[in-house]
Amino acid sequence: MSATGEQYVVDEHGNRVAIILPLSEYEQMQEDLHDLAVVAERREEPTVEFNEFRKQYEQ
């Protein structure tokens, strides 16, 4: 096992074909992928300066 906890599944030629990760690592990767997908979907939305956001939020 490596330092990060993953293990590899190899074929009959010793080529890595799959990986085994701790469940917590896999779940974190899934969350990160979801977050990146949301960012990509919202890429074209207009942005708001922080000070403007703060003014709107405080009202």
Which token pair is 6?
């993953």
pLDDT of residue 3: 57
Q: How far apart are CA 59 and CA 8, in angstroms?
A: 54
Which token pair is 3?
């330092």
Q: What is the DSSP letter of 53?
A: H
pLDDT greater than 80 at residue 53:
yes
Q: How far apart are CA 20 and CA 44, in angstroms?
A: 37
- How does residue 1 score in pLDDT terms, banded at 50, 70 and 90? very low
How is the chain split into domains, by residue range? Answer: 7-58
pLDDT greater than 90 at residue 4:
no
What is the pTM (predicted TM-score) of this model? 0.60
